[in-house]
Amino acid sequence: MYGGGYIFEEPNRVQQREEQLHDDPEKLAAFEMRIANGEKIEPGDWMPAEYRRQLIRLIEQHAHSEVIGALPEGTWITRAPGFKRKLALIAKVQDEIGHGQLLYNAAETLGKSREAMINDLLSGKSKYSNVFNYPAETWADVTVIGFLIDAAAIVNQVANAKGSYGPYCRALERICYEESFHLKQGHDAFIELATGTPGQKAMLQDALNRWWQPIMHFFGPPDKVSGHSEKLMQWKVKMASNDDMRNQFLEAYVPKIRELGLTLPDPLLNKNEETGRWEYSDPDWDLFFEVIKGNGPCNKERLDVRKWAEEHGRWIRKALMKEGTFEKKAMPVA
Amino acid sequence: MNDSLDPRINRLKLNKTDDPCKVEEGENWNVFEVFHQEKRGAHHEHVGCVHAPDAGLALVFAKEQFGRRKKCVNLWVVRSADILAFDVEDEDMFANNLEKTYRDASGFKVMEKINKFKAQAKPANDK
């Protein structure tokens, strides 16, 4: 699972731009031609410093989102209602951690070690999808995450899978295939509550009301303020604008929510038949930035759990190290 | 202190100290490339990599990561550092001379010659 809305510029961006000026113009032209022709860029290829930096940030934050995203669902494994739901949830959580591994490897091909990425996550320097800073209060929250957050993630990932960097595209191909199961099992669990007892319906409606704003935040700030770089679009690092992806999500999923007799907590949410685009109330973007800064309901808990796992796993990682294995350490080749 | 909704998380007594946690370089082990064989008789194909302390554990992790869903009958792992590859910048050395019919089956027109021979030979036999 993953959302593009947390891909933010760091303060040192201006400095990096200077660095970009030193890229060999001839090589840069050949590189851009290659992307324009629909070719993929591979790890050993020449690439502009800014392309490498942006990709590392994008893929790294995607990897963190997979791993942190497994936490709110993981805590529900023991409380999942029934054997079938428990099996599906275990499989889904294992997939998400597996996606994290695939993505860390893709990022490593660009030259940043996994250890450095984990350190940046734990220190708060590197972000993950904002949506995972909210708690899963009831089982209905887990079904909303499994259905709607995964659906939103798929919109984003299917777009990114057409990007220009080969190792990222290959990882996403496999991820999208597995996400289709996540979405289906989430939809199934969601429908079961929506068509269940009055108590189940009320629990689901509550969860939907709680999650609607984080879901609207998911794709990031509106295009008019996010100012996505044209360069990133040209280099096929960013494949679709935040508003386009949000619209695509609303178009596909609002009808699937409403057909079950559920409502969404936004009186303005409606499709404008003339423009073909969805209209909605602006979610609270100040809150969004506040949560990204670390002040959401679960930011601290998520990082503390991750830190706990790192600290308590250290002894076994060290015990397993064998002499000789590390004589030749290398990054993944593809 | 901690007010997680999950009682198990509260029992962990998370973050008793606020000491920063730092993972040392190399602590996440070495990198191994993984090759997956879908069925007997098929080639092993590269599917990705795993981090592991040695090749034996790399196989165990590869089974979890790449053998848990799709059909799989065998896996190979090899240390990434041991892969020898051409430099991608040298890609032009694979540029093919299109005139390579001399090494293609289609470059040899045996039927034409046989038919020509038969056409010439036929009147002679008829005598």
Q: What is the CATH number of the domain that holds B41?
A: 3.10.20.520
Contact residues on chain A for B29, CB-CB shorter than 8 A? 317, 320-321, 325-326
Q: What is the dihedral of CA A26, A28, A29, A35, to 10 degrees?
A: 150
CA distance A105 to A171: 9
Mutate which of B49, B69, B89, B90 to disrupt the A interface (most A C-beta within 10 Å)? B49
With a CB cutoff of 8 Å and minimum separation 6, the contacts of B111 are none
CA distance B117 to B103: 25
Q: Residue A329 is encoded by which pair of tokens?
A: 């350490």
Q: Could B50 and A101 be called an inter-chain contact, meaning their C-beta atoms sit closer than 8 Å?
A: yes
Give the per-residue pLDDT at A234. 93
Has residue B5 been placed in a domain? no
Write out residues 63-122 of A within 8 Å (CB-CB) of B.
75, 78, 94, 98, 101-102, 105, 108, 113-116, 118-119, 122
- How many pairs of residues across A and B have Cβ atoms under 8 Å apart? 124
Q: Residue B25 is encoded by which pair of tokens?
A: 């370089």
Q: Could A171 and B33 be called an inter-chain contact, meaning their C-beta atoms sit closer than 8 Å?
A: no
Give the per-residue pLDDT at A267. 96
CA distance A108 to B48: 12
CA distance B37 to B46: 9
Interface of chain B against chain A, CB under 8 Å?
2, 4-6, 8-9, 12, 14-15, 20-31, 33, 46, 48-51, 53-54, 57, 64-65, 68-69, 79-83, 85, 87-89
Give the per-residue pLDDT at A5. 46
| Nearest partner of A95 among A44, A35, A171, A165, judged by Cα | A171
In terms of residues, how long is chain A? Answer: 334
CA distance A226 to A213: 18
Give the per-residue pLDDT at A333. 83
Contact residues on chain B for A178, CB-CB shorter than 8 A? 69
For residue A308, give the chain B residue with the closest CA: B14
Q: Could B49 and A171 be called an inter-chain contact, meaning their C-beta atoms sit closer than 8 Å?
A: no
Q: Could B20 and A135 be called an inter-chain contact, meaning their C-beta atoms sit closer than 8 Å?
A: no
CA distance A312 to B21: 11
Give the per-residue pLDDT at B101. 83
Of A98, A308, A329, nearest to B14 by CB-CB distance is A308
| Per-position pLDDT tens, chain A of length 334 | 455 544 444 444 444 555 556 788 999 999 999 999 999 999 989 999 999 999 999 999 999 999 999 999 998 999 999 999 999 999 999 999 999 999 999 999 999 999 999 999 999 999 999 999 999 999 999 999 999 999 999 999 999 999 999 999 999 999 999 999 999 999 999 999 999 999 999 999 999 999 999 999 999 999 888 665 788 999 999 999 999 999 999 999 999 999 999 999 999 999 999 999 999 999 999 999 999 999 999 999 999 999 999 999 999 998 998 776 666 777 888 7
Contact residues on chain B for A139, CB-CB shorter than 8 A? none
| DSSP of A26-67 | HHHHHHHHHHHTTPPB-TTS---HHHHHHHHHHHHHHHHHHH
ipTM score here? 0.87
Q: Could A136 and B5 be called an inter-chain contact, meaning their C-beta atoms sit closer than 8 Å?
A: yes
Q: Could A317 and B28 be called an inter-chain contact, meaning their C-beta atoms sit closer than 8 Å?
A: yes
Using the structure block, give the residue that is written with the tokens 């590869």: B62
| Nearest partner of A298 among A125, A141, A72, A117, judged by Cα | A72
Give the per-residue pLDDT at A13. 45
| Nearest partner of B78 among B45, B29, B35, judged by Cα | B35
Contact between A307 and A120 under an 8 Å Cβ cutoff? The reply is: no
In terms of residues, how long is chain B? Answer: 127
Give the per-residue pLDDT at A128. 95
Collapsing DSSP states into helix, strand and coil, what is residue A326? coil
Mutate which of B16, B19, B24, B31 to disrupt the A interface (most A C-beta within 10 Å)? B31
Helices (H), chain A: 13-20, 25-36, 49-74, 83-108, 114-122, 139-144, 150-160, 166-194, 198-217, 223-226, 230-234, 242-258, 285-290, 299-320
Write out residues 30-59 of A within 8 Å (CB-CB) of B.
42-46
Give the per-residue pLDDT at A87. 96
Has residue B3 been placed in a domain? no
| H or E stretch covering A271 | strand A270-272
| Nearest partner of A108 among A165, A158, A69, judged by Cα | A165
Of A75, A102, A115, nearest to B23 by CB-CB distance is A115
Dihedral sign computed on CA atoms, order A223, A229, A234, A238: negative
Give the per-residue pLDDT at A212. 98
Name the more confident of B100 and B113.
B113
Q: Could A301 and B82 be called an inter-chain contact, meaning their C-beta atoms sit closer than 8 Å?
A: no
Give the per-residue pLDDT at B43. 97
Helices (H), A109-165: 114-122, 139-144, 150-160
Confidence tier at B95 by pLDDT (50, 70, 90) = confident
Contact between A329 and B26 under an 8 Å Cβ cutoff? The reply is: yes
CA distance B104 to B111: 15
Give the per-residue pLDDT at A327. 67
Q: Cβ–Cβ contacts within 10 Å for residue A113, how many?
A: 19
Of A119, A318, A332, nearest to B22 by CB-CB distance is A119
| Nearest partner of A74 among A155, A174, A146, judged by Cα | A146
Class of domain A36-307 as given by CATH: mainly alpha
Q: Could B4 and A301 be called an inter-chain contact, meaning their C-beta atoms sit closer than 8 Å?
A: yes
Sorted by where each begins, the domain ranges of chain A are 36-307
Give the per-residue pLDDT at A102. 96
Give the per-residue pLDDT at B121. 85
Mutate which of A90, A97, A101, A123 to disrupt the B interface (most B C-beta within 10 Å)? A101
Backbone angles phi, psi at B49, to 5 degrees: -145, 165
For residue B7, give the chain A residue with the closest CA: A75
Contact residues on chain A for B53, CB-CB shorter than 8 A? 317, 320-322, 325
pLDDT tens-digit map of B54-80: 999 999 999 999 999 889 999 999 999
Q: Which domain holds residue B80?
A: 28-126
Q: What is the domain count for chain B? A: 1
Collapsing DSSP states into helix, strand and coil, what is residue A185? helix
CA distance A251 to A246: 9
